[in-house]
Structure 1
Amino acid sequence: MLRTSAVRVLGERDRESVYALLDADPVGNVFVSSRLRASGLHSSRLGAELWGYVERGALTALCYSGANLVPVNAGPVAIRHFSEQARGQGRRCSSIVGPVEAVSDLWARLAPSWGPARAIRERQPVLEISEPPHVEPDPLVRRTRMSEFGLVLPACVAMFTEEVGVPPDSGDGGSMYRARVEELVRTGRSFARIEDGRVVFKAEIGAVTPHACQIQGVWVHPELRGRGYSVSGMAAVVRYALTEIAPRVTLYVNDFNAPARAAYGSVGFHEVGAVRSVLF
């Protein structure tokens, strides 16, 4: 049971109102929208709950509660209600991710009972591109094949560990992460440049909706960094994405990662917002 009548678990009957909220910001909400479009709104299929904040009879804010806790269009009052629900359930997520103000407020309310966080990424710029890349794409970057899964998975694990600070197999031995990487390869959303049995550059398109898609997992082999592989590689992934997947391509990056931000700028990405991440 939800602890406040202003918040309820949403389901398929709320589809129209939910997508109206999500589609008002298709880039900022691409992750949640992608999950719902892939699995539907029913909690048993989604593997998460979608909470709705109702104000004067209208659905005005959402909060995705799964492996990530993600507020959507949530102002201070909605955040207060969402924090009460989250605190009552106890922490079930590995991160809180969303707009800077909303996550700051949410974490301030949850920290006394959920803290401490393992890490907080204070500001991660959200970048977007909707036009052809400004640089020549790397012709050797292509979709990866299932026969190359044994090469791609270690590169993905290395990227995740470097980015998040813990390996993705620290909980369940890596079975869920392995399944997710396999799904991305199988569905043609994993891209790489592979030479002599080594992944030189790789990236995936994780979230996809009819309006936007999100690149994740950008990685260059440590021995080959500083040679421009990330710029031309990202240009190749962007070209694939715009041509075959969605009209807008987005990602977010740590604000302190100057080399990555410079590379994305060279490709043609521009900043459209920012998120904050609280990692456990």
Structure 2
Amino acid sequence: MCATNPAMNAFVAARLVEGGPAAVASTFGVRNGTRLRAICWVAANVVPVEADDAALDAFASRLRRHRRRCSSIFGDADQVLPLWDRLSRHWGTPRSLRRDQPVLAVSSPPLASGRTMDPRVRPARPDEVDLVLPASAHMFTEEIGYPPYLGSDREYRRLVASLIDRGHTYVIVEHGKVVFKADIGSLASGVAQIQGVWVAPSRRGQGIATPAMNAVVQQILDRHASMVTLYVNGFNEAARRTYAAAGFRQMGTFATVIL
């Protein structure tokens, strides 16, 4: 089901690959006879996949009781927005509703295309969790509007460490501090979806983002996937210019409801 559009469905595909058979328990499905025709990932995030109006009706009916378990609904805007229309009167006012998030993709290696790469970009090391964690938390807070943890950072540290241990966090370190970071958030079906792109405030506007992203793309294409994707808020013109300069082109639109 996810492989019908691997670039758009990388998040759910990766959760299923990582979780194995147990992950099916987090998935609703709608069948047409014996054929599965739509699914919806339901955990901390709700993500519909290949859902038409009838499937969205079915998912909404089941989801009305899951409000307190979910932090967001996201995915293909053509599915997320009508799903939210069905749920909004039951789930209340969201923290944020982001209707226009271009999904961008690149599959051409920067090295072959002559795009400039920053040679300092590298995978973070397992002993650098304490270095990466503040950058990750800063990025999350800027993007979502609230911090990723209150009180103990143990669970968030575990998530950061897991990405690093898998070689999925890329950094530039200057004078003992992370000044650029990007993560592979989802990896499945030959697609790597980047998340958590961040440049330290002190280094913004100095031209490091594009060559750093080129280096990340090259290393991902060399080691992990044949396509690199990400999604960005439509209003974030600076980020969109950076990604365009790094060879990314729009191939769809996401929407996110932050709860």
Q: Smaller-chain TM-score range?
A: over 0.9
1:141 aligns with 2:118: no
Provide closer, same or farther for how the CA distance between residues 56 and 180 of structure 1 changes in structure 2, counting only shifts above 3 A.
same
Aligned to 1:168: 148
Instruction: State which of 84, 90, 94 in structure 2 corresponds to 1:113.
Output: 90
More deviation in 253-262 or 134-143?
134-143
Describe the superposition over 1:167-218 as per-residue Cα deviations: whole angstroms up to 9, x where unpaired.
0004x74433221110111111111110101111111111111410111111
Mapping of residues 173-212 of structure 1, within 5 Å: 173-212=152-191
* Residue of structure 1 aligned with 2:8, choices 17, 25, 28: 28
* Other structure's SS at 1:40 match: helix
- Equivalent residue for 1:88, pick from 65, 69, 72: 65
State the AA in 1 paired with 2:257.
V
> Residue 53 of structure 1 aligns to a residue in which SS?
strand
Classify 1:112/1:34 alpha carbon distance in 2 versus 1 (closer, same or farther; 3 Å): same
Q: In 1, distance between residues paired with 2:168 and 2:66?
A: 34
Q: Does residue 235 in structure 1 map to residue 205 in structure 2?
A: no
TM-score (norm 1): 0.88
Q: Residue 87 and residue 110 in structure 1: after superposition, are their counterparts in 2 closer, same or farther (change >3 A)?
A: same
1:26-83 Cα offsets, whole Å, 9 max, x none, are 110000000110111324xx7x611110123311000000010000000111000000
Contact 1:192 1:202 in 2 (8 A): yes
Measured against aligned partners, the alpha-carbon deviations of 1:233-278 in whole angstroms (never above 9, x if no partner) come to 1011000100000001000000000010000000100000011000
Q: CA deviation at 1:125?
A: 0.3
Partner of 2:256: 277
1:41·1:50 contact (CA, 8 Å) conserved in 2? Answer: no
CA RMSD of aligned residues (A): 1.3
List alignment gaps of at least 5 residues for structure 1.
Answer: 1-20
Q: What do residues 147-180 of structure 1 show as CA deviations (whole Å, max 9, x unaligned)?
A: 221111000000000001010004x744332211
Candidates 207, 211, 214, aligned match of 2:193: 214
